[in-house]
Amino acid sequence: MFLKFQEIMKNILVLFIAFFSLTLANSQEKKPEISFEKTVIDYGTVNKGDNGVREFIFRNSGNAPLIISNVKSTCGCTIPKKPEKPILPGESEKIQVKYDTKRVGFIRKSITVTSNAASSPTTILKIKGQVVENNQQKGIERKKKSIVEVY
């Protein structure tokens, strides 16, 4: 009877050690993480035809390589460009976004970033602002010159 009890306790101890080892191994698992400096870029008021390129800077704050698998925008007027190579732990990289500033009006667009980040595999970035006709700021049109000012 005592031998069976000893054998049962031995088996329980082995199972406990195996469980503890697996838990410890999982807690040290390498995981990539993505941290953006900012998730919204405000273009402010820009003139029609101005440079529409902006950059979202991010960092791999994890301890495994970060892979950006997809970056897509809500419409064809916004073209995102993702890094092609994995981002190593501690390194920074950028996602370039080009908005078509030939379209006059308000800018409110979203860019969806898909990665292998452990805690946030999908991140939504946003751009906002307004494109106005050249020499027009915030809805105030240029005043027409009078005859006196022309001559």
> Token match 């953006």: residue?
36
Assigned domain for 122 exists: yes
Contact (CB, 8 A) for 96 and 10: no
Assigned domain for 113 exists: yes
Assigned domain for 23 exists: no
Buried/exposed code over 74-84 (b: 16+ C-beta within 10 A; e: otherwise): eeeebbbebbe
Contact (CB, 8 A) for 125 and 36: yes
pLDDT tier, 8 (very low <50, low <70, confident <90, very high otherwise): confident
Assigned domain for 63 exists: yes
Average pLDDT, the chain: 85
pLDDT at 37 over 80: yes
Assigned domain for 111 exists: yes
Look up the CATH number of the domain holding residue 101: 2.60.40.10
pLDDT at 32 over 70: yes
pLDDT tier, 122 (very low <50, low <70, confident <90, very high otherwise): very high
Residue 90 lies in domain = 34-132
Query: Per the structure, how many domains does the chain have?
Result: 1
Assigned domain for 13 exists: no
Assigned domain for 9 exists: no
